[in-house]
Amino acid sequence: MDQAQFSRARAALGKTQARMAELLQTSLKAVQSYEQGWRTIPAHAEKQVLFLLALKAGNTRGKECWTVLRCPPERRRRCPAWELKAGRFCWFVNGTLCGGKAQASWREKMKICGSCRVMESLAKFR
């Protein structure tokens, strides 16, 4: 997530910079720095922003990721999204088996998830 995406996400949530800082449990200066591009948005903050956007967008409805992606049963059984019944929030769960293997980092995961149909309502913020 870059500074423009962060700003659009904050606007979509209807939050002031101060309120966003409270939601992210960070300082107002940090939020201002994210939006100015002075500071890289940490993975935990990006994850929280995307989660809030998904909740606001009503992403609790729809098909589970394993259905959308037609994951074979053996992959489903090994995937934490399946185990946790988090198929609409698979992008939020670390260690999912998208592409057949777990990604090593949040950045790697977001490269895959950013173009996935499960996360399509959040694509404009990625």
Mean pLDDT by 10 residues, the chain (126 residues): 93 96 96 96 93 79 83 92 90 86 86 81 63
The whole-number pLDDT of residue 61 equals 60
Distance CA(111)–CA(118), nearest Å, equals 13
Which residue matches tokens 């992210």? 24
The residue count for the chain: 126
**Residue reference for tokens 């209807």:** 14
The two three-digit tokens of residue 101, written as one number: 């293997």
pLDDT of residue 28: 97
Under DSSP, is residue 98 helix (H, G, I), strand (E, B) or coil?
Answer: helix
In order of their start, the domains of the chain are 3-57 (1.10.260), 65-125 (no CATH)
Q: Which two tokens stand for residue 37?
A: 């591009």
Give pLDDT, residue 126.
Answer: 58
The residues near 9 (Cβ < 8 Å, ≥ 6 apart) are 1, 49, 50, 53, 125
Q: What is the pLDDT of residue 55?
A: 85
Largest CA distance in the chain: 47
pLDDT at 121: 65
Say how many C-beta atoms besides its own lie within 10 A of residue 48's C-beta: 17
pTM of the model: 0.80
Alpha carbons 31 and 111: distance in angstroms, whole number? 23
Query: Interior CA angle at 91 toward 124 and 12, to 5°?
Result: 35
Which has the closest alpha carbon to 88: 42, 112, 119? 119
What is the per-residue pLDDT for 54?
85
Return the DSSP state at 89: S
